[in-house]
Structure 1
């Protein structure tokens, strides 16, 4: 039920849908003769549209999420890599019969790069059917094809195809990985999605090393400079708003360990420092190295 409600709720909470609803309200108010109130609502919509489409609001909202977990340096050996679904276009896979990556493709390419760098590590992919309205195919099917095409041996793959959201990613991934004390599992997902993902994995009892990829904002002062494309600015507001709403709802539902999860001072060491010290206390800057 939570999955269905969350999907339906987001259909009406998206910024453009909210603005369209307000505009419709203005028209109704005008029809009933409440012209001043209708003009006020219409002006509000125009201001909101201007702010989200030409200002750096989306960049700032996204950067706050992306910078929450800097990318750590990894040790010489790791146990496994967990990559969360969301980077595969399953509608293309279903209708054209071939693998297609979407704008979050860095999740898959970064996972491949780490799998090649750490040839003894398992590669666990978690992603099922996230569609609500139409029948779809699990992401895990395309993921298997993709990783095999990149030269990853089949016996290294651990494939999980039931998860429909981030919380289920964490629960089902932990069950498959069955992590033991001292093991190091690296989790890959989009940088803006990392706070919610870490919160869910902590709640599920799966202590992972966050490895954010798929950055959508520049570092430094450039974050104050919006794109010349109004749709790109709007997209960032839309995507980051979804994450903030998701963080709040997951926290209220007890699915994450904090409202806005942050690097823990008790994180396991990933560079050989004594146990109990922070693995993320002395990481590199959040700039993204080439893969």
Structure 2
């Protein structure tokens, strides 16, 4: 129930969807004589808000604390027993329809996992991702990625598939159930930098110690942090991502899926090593 409620609620409260809905509400109200002034004012106010939120670097400020929470992975020479790739980088339905892997803007999750697979040739590779949609069409991401890995020469014997999960919490629970990690094993967790705090939090809750390997950074550093976006769509897209992640952190903490509101390096097996 939590899964379906969260998906439906988020659809209506996604910043970009909400802004457009409020603009349309204002236009509808302006059709009524008594509410024309209110409707026009509402539409104008939220149109300006959409432009400001889309162009100004507000989305960067929302994402930055998430992406800076865990430092880049540093290879300290310790052996790696496994690599966990969280889904979200491949469009399962499109890949299934086209018969070829279709990656999205989070493709670095897959690319870096391939690099790690070659760097640590003895490590097992766990791909954790089911169908994270309300209306399932039978397409799951993990088997598609696994098949792709096999075509580029990664030994199938190394690959583990977890394709039941629909949420980050289920990623952790089902991965722990499948792997049953032994004490002292080191597993790298590969996911987007902005998603890493919540991911580490649920793996820690599931008693599966992981070492963060953040990828897919969406923010720059230095003066570039304060630069405006080149298009409204780019800024709004990043605002949607950042807002969803903060809401997810609050929701997971409130429902007991994580032990801390904002999981940090102290909650992972990797400590706070930086590059």
TM-score range, shorter chain: over 0.9
Alignment partners' CA distance in 1, 2:177 and 2:164: 12
Q: CA offset at residue 36 of structure 1?
A: 4.0
Say which of 175, 181, 199 aligns to 2:183.
181
How is 1:41-120 mapped onto 2 (pairs within 5 angstroms)?
41-76=42-77, 77-120=79-122
Q: CA offset at residue 209 of structure 1?
A: 0.5
- Determine if the alignment matches structure 1 residue 10 to structure 2 residue 10: yes
Question: Which residue of structure 1 aligns with residue 126 of structure 2?
Answer: 124
Alignment partners' CA distance in 2, 1:5 and 1:141: 27
Question: Which residue of structure 2 aligns with residue 169 of structure 1?
Answer: 171
SS in 2 for 1:33: helix
Q: CA offset at residue 154 of structure 1?
A: 0.6
Say which of 262, 265, 275 aligns to 1:263.
265
Q: CA offset at residue 82 of structure 1?
A: 0.5
CA offsets 1:196-242 (integer angstroms, 9 cap, x no match): 11111111111101110011111222111122122111111111111
RMSD: 1.6
The answer to whether the 8 A contact 1:160-1:173 is kept is yes
Alignment partners' CA distance in 2, 1:93 and 1:136: 12
SS in 1 for 2:12: helix
SS in 1 for 2:34: coil
Distance 1:59 1:254, change over 3 A: same
Instruction: For structure 1, list consecutive stretches of 5 or more residues without a partner in the other structure.
Output: 271-278, 285-291
The answer to whether the 8 A contact 1:59-1:226 is kept is no
**More deviation in 162-171 or 12-21?**
12-21
Alignment partners' CA distance in 2, 1:108 and 1:176: 21
Aligned residues: 273
Q: CA offset at residue 134 of structure 1?
A: 4.9
Alignment partners' CA distance in 2, 1:46 and 1:21: 11
SS in 2 for 1:34: helix
Distance 1:7 1:63, change over 3 A: same
Alignment partners' CA distance in 1, 2:98 and 2:37: 52
Alignment partners' CA distance in 1, 2:268 and 2:104: 32
Query: Normalising to structure 1: TM-score of the pair?
Result: 0.89
Q: CA offset at residue 28 of structure 1?
A: 4.2
Instruction: For structure 2, list consecutive stretches of 5 or more residues without a partner in the other structure.
Output: none
Q: As a proportion of its length, which structure holds more helix?
A: 2
